[in-house]
């Protein structure tokens, strides 16, 4: 008779046991939830990035004993790149650790959108390095969201600058044809307005062609590209869409040296499956590949030498996705360090304090040298109004074996991007009834 009560009772007892076990931990710790994905079509990106992130955290613990003595702890939660699972992982992990979750890096534009309101309500900063929500770069409307380093619109203007450089100057863009082949999702559609604005400004013609998720069927789209005969194709793909596009381009006869990818189509896992078809393909990046950097060497020395590394395949250390994860780790630890410098060294920081730390994060060339990341990532300066903080990208080219850096840091066109961001953020503020903060009043 009480059988129908057994399941809820077991669930409640199990949860109570778990939470009781969880809170019986040391108090001088800083908890960072690792809500990522290690399965599914995007597992290569997720496992690489979170591998790098976790390895960096473990390296800081092993080499420095944490941040000013505060050890960093983490817990993995599988989101499967699914919004509902992402929300559930966030809810599960947001209260863990002595001060709750420090910050959440969902590695998914969709999950970031779902967490915008929740992060603000629960006082957990949501850090979306290199992805959406783009208009959250206006920190006055989105105090808890940090699309750090470069958002999609900035990198898109840098991409047009790169294409113009290849064509011989910004004025040579007039009359050229560019196709924007994008993944048909929130991520894919974000750059359509900024491309249209630049097309109007510089006089080139842009055609937007969507590819339905997951993107392993692109025959129709590439026939359309062949008809248009564009000068350049911007590949805004993710996961399996990328190698499929490169192979389709080879079949249709479109030169890969005229294709530029975003940083989510510019990793080894995106081009190796395409084989020879990928040679010559360009991609934007806010971090480079290679293990010849002091920070990677430190990770190998303090983590892998002791057999505690995350990557089962050692050759992935130093790949684009892995290094990106290391960048995530650097940003997270430096934000915590900045918060501690202000609120008290050697104490675990709360979500509010880390938000302050993120908003006042500044990594200059001197800091990069100390971190061992010179040339690895760009300098960063975040402020209340500017939650992006960077805005420059490098361009890489695949030669069949590795990604070679072919440009220096190309900055974005903030004169075009920033007004669009502020307009979009103001529209969101009006829709939701938010009063933007007055940054001149805050510390």
Partner 1 sequence: MFYREAGQFKSTYAEDQRLFPIRQDRIGMAVILAIAFLVLPIASSAPALRGVIDFNYWYNGVIIPFLIFSLAALGLNILTGYAGLLSLGTGAFMAVGAFAAYNFELRVPGIPMLASFILAGIVAAGVGLVFGLPSLRIKGFYLAVATLAAQFFVVWALTKFPWFSNYSTSGVIAAQKLVAFGYAFDSPVKRYLLVLVIVALMALAAKNMVRSSTGRAWMAVRDMDVAAEVIGIPMMRTKLLAFAVSSFYCGVAGALYAFAYLGNVEPQAFDLDLSFRILFMIIIGGVGSILGSFLGAAFIVVLPILLDIWATWFERTAGIAVPAGLVSNLTLIIFGALIVFFLAVEPLGLARLWQVAKDKLRLWPFPH
Q: Rule CB under 8 A: which residues touch partner 1?
A: 1, 3-5, 7-8, 11-12, 14-16, 18-21, 36-40, 43, 47, 50, 75-78, 80, 83-85, 87-88, 91-92, 94-95, 109-110, 113-114, 116-118, 132-135, 184-187, 189-190, 192-193, 213, 312, 424, 428, 431-432
DSSP assignments along 116-160, one per residue: HHHHHHHT--EE-TTSS-GGGGBTTT-TTEE--S--HHHHHHHHH
CB nearer partner 1, residue 310 or residue 334: 310
Distance CA 130, CA 150 (A): 5
How many CB atoms within 10 Å of residue 162?
A: 20
Instruction: Supply the minimum distance, in Å, between the C-beta of residue 322 and partner 1.
Output: 14
* C-alpha pair distances (Å), 136 with each of 142, 194, 379, 382: 5, 15, 20, 13
* Residue 443 CB-density burial (10 A; 0-12 exposed, 13-18 middle, 19+ buried): exposed
Q: Provide, rounded to whole angstroms, the least separation between the CB of residue 51 and partner 1.
A: 9
Q: Which is nearer to partner 1, 228 or 420 (CB)?
A: 420
Beta carbon nearer to partner 1, 329 or 357: 329
- The pairing of strands 145-146 and 380-381 is unpaired
Number of neighbours of residue 245 by Cβ within 10 angstroms: 33
Q: How far is the CB of 95 from partner 1 (least distance, A)?
A: 6
- For residues 39 and 341, which CB has a smaller minimum distance to partner 1 in the complex? 39
What is the DSSP secondary structure assignment for residue 373, as one 8-state letter? Answer: -
Q: How far is the CB of 88 from partner 1 (least distance, A)?
A: 4
The DSSP line for 268-292 is: HHHHGGGGGGGTT-EEEESB---S-
C-beta of 64 vs 75, nearer to partner 1? 75
Of 171, 164, 244, nearest in space to 203 by CA: 171
Cβ of residue 19: shortest distance to partner 1, in angstroms?
6
Residue whose CB is less far from partner 1, 190 or 388: 190
Q: Which is nearer to partner 1, 150 or 397 (CB)?
A: 150
Rounded to the nearest 10°, the torsion over CA 370, 322, 152, 34 is: -90
- Name the H helices within 123-263: 152-167, 186-189, 192-202, 219-228, 241-252
- Look-up of token digits 């009560």: 5
149 or 311: CB nearest partner 1: 311
DSSP β-ladder status, 403-405 and 392-398: antiparallel
Q: How far is CA 392 from CA 263, 277, 285, in A?
A: 12, 28, 9
* Cα separation values, 425 from 79, 109, 421, 428, 429, Å: 28, 16, 6, 5, 6
For the bound state, the minimum distance from the C-beta of residue 194 to partner 1, rounded and expressed in Å, comes to 9
Q: Work out how close the CB of 247 gets to partner 1 at its nearest, in angstroms, rounded to a whole number.
A: 24
CA 376 vs CA 136, 185, 367, 408, 414: distances in Å: 25, 30, 12, 12, 23
Q: Is the separation of the CB atoms in 188 and 234 below 8 Å?
A: no
Q: How far apart are the first and last CA of the chain?
A: 62
Q: Which is nearer to partner 1, 211 or 259 (CB)?
A: 211
> Measured from the CB of residue 418, what is the shortest distance to partner 1 in angstroms?
15
Q: How far is the CB of 24 from partner 1 (least distance, A)?
A: 11
Shortest Cβ 368–partner 1 spacing (Å): 30
């Amino acid at each position: 008779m009480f059988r129908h009560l057994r399941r809820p009772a077991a669930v409640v007892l199990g949860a109570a046991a778990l939470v009781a076990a969880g809170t019986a931990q040391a108090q001088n710790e800083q908890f960072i939830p690792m809500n990522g994905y290690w399965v599914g079509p995007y597992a290569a990106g997720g496992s690489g990035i979170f591998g790098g992130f976790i390895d960096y955290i473990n390296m800081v613990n092993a080499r420095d004993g944490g941040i000013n003595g505060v050890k960093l702890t983490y817990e993995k939660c599988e989101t499967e790149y699914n919004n509902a699972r992402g929300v559930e992982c966030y809810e599960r992990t947001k209260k863990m650790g002595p001060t709750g979750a420090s910050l959440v890096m969902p590695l998914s534009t969709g999950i970031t959108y779902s967490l915008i309101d929740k992060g603000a309500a629960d006082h957990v900063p949501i850090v979306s390095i290199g992805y959406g929500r783009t208009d959250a770069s206006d920190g006055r409307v989105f105090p808890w969201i940090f699309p750090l380093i470069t958002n999609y619109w900035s990198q898109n203007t840098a991409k047009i600058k790169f294409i113009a450089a290849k064509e011989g100057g910004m004025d040579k863009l007039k009359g050229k044809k560019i196709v924007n082949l994008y993944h048909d999702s929130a991520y894919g559609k974000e750059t359509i307005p900024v491309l249209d604005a630049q097309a109007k400004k510089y006089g080139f013609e842009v055609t937007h062609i969507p590819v339905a998720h997951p993107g392993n069927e692109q025959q129709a789209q590439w026939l359309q590209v062949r008809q248009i005969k564009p000068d350049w194709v911007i590949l805004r793909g993710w996961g399996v869409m990328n190698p499929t596009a490169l192979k389709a381009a080879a079949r249709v006869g479109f030169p890969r040296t005229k294709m530029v990818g975003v940083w989510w189509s510019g990793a080894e896992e995106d081009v190796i499956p395409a084989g020879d078809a990928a040679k010559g393909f360009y991609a934007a990046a806010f971090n480079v590949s290679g293990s010849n950097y002091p920070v990677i060497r430190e990770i190998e020395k303090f983590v892998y030498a002791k057999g505690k590394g995350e990557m089962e395949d050692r050759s992935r250390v130093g790949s684009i996705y892995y290094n990106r994860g290391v960048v995530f780790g650097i940003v997270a630890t430096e934000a915590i360090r900045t918060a501690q410098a202000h609120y008290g060294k050697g104490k675990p920081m709360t979500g509010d304090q880390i938000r302050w730390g993120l908003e006042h994060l500044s990594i200059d060339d001197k800091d990069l040298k100390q971190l061992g990341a010179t040339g690895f990532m760009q300098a960063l300066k975040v402020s209340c109004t500017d939650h992006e903080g960077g805005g420059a990208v490098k361009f890489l080219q695949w030669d069949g074996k590795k990604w070679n850096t072919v440009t220096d840091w190309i900055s974005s066109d903030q004169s075009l991007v920033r007004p669009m961001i502020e307009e979009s953020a103001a529209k969101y503020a009006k829709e939701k009834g938010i009063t933007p903060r007055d940054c001149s009043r805050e510390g």
